Amino acid sequence: MSIIQDKVVIITGVSSGIGEATAKELASKGAKLVMAARREERLASLQEEIQSSGGQAIYKVTDVTSHDQMEGLADYALKEFGKIDVMINNAGVMPLSPVHEGKINEWDTMVDVNIKGVLYGIAAVLPAMRERTEGHIINVSSVAGHLVFPTSSVYSGTKFAVRAITEGLRQEEAKNNIRTTIISPGSVATELTDHISDAELKASIKQQSEIAIDPISIARAIAFAIEQPSDVAINELVIRPTIQEL
């Protein structure tokens, strides 16, 4: 039997890309999924697909930038399944732009989703995990959390923050048997580039993303981290297309 069998897993940003692929991968291994995103039609469709394949999945429409909604998501998981084994903070946005353009609204959105969303997810599940002295928090960063390039200043800042927060959490909660994992994808075929408002920059980034790998590759890496015995923590994984230089 898979170690993932019957684990209760919350996943944010599940309506597309890495979140959707991860939901399908973990469901195929017997996880009990609590799926979160803003687009209910996508959530309902994914739930139907998973259930028709014999998997278990429930969902709750959730905006990760709302502390109350993230608390409600954790409460829903506990009410329906009685525990939370894994929290995957996957939701993220990437509206790249040069700093001089001063796209304040886009900066605010990145901070709210990419940093606060992760923090709210951690805060929502940590009390229950500490009570059980067991749990696993997986936060999705990026290769942009390891390096900076023109137009990525703010986005990279948020992803560096995710890595810092996760490493701090690891040190604080190791004694409570709570594992942490940072997932840093390179170019992956997702909707992330759709958030770029500058048409020329978007076209350039999309052209570079021709090398992008399928989200299932990231989903398998996440499953690998979860599948380890409880005394083993995979703390960080960087997954790029083989030919990606950055």
Tens-place pLDDT, residues 212-235: 999 999 999 999 999 999 999 999
Q: Nearest-CA neighbor of 82 among 19, 5, 7? A: 7
pLDDT at 196: 75
What the chain holds in terms of domains, given with CATH numbers, is: 8-239 (3.40.50.720)
The kind and range of the H/E element at 69 are: helix 67-81
The kind and range of the H/E element at 59 are: strand 56-61
Mean pLDDT to the nearest integer, 67-72: 98
Active site residues: 155
Query: What contacts 35, CB < 8 A, 6 or more positions away?
Result: 11, 14, 19, 23, 43, 46, 47, 57, 58, 59, 60
pTM score > 0.85 for this model? yes
Residue 46, class by beta-carbon neighbours within 10 Å (0-12 exposed, 13-18 middle, 19+ buried)? Answer: buried
pLDDT at 108: 98
Check residue 137 and report its DSSP letter.
E
pLDDT at 194: 72
pLDDT at 207: 65
Tens-place pLDDT, residues 155-209: 999 999 999 999 999 999 999 999 999 999 999 988 777 777 777 777 777 666 6
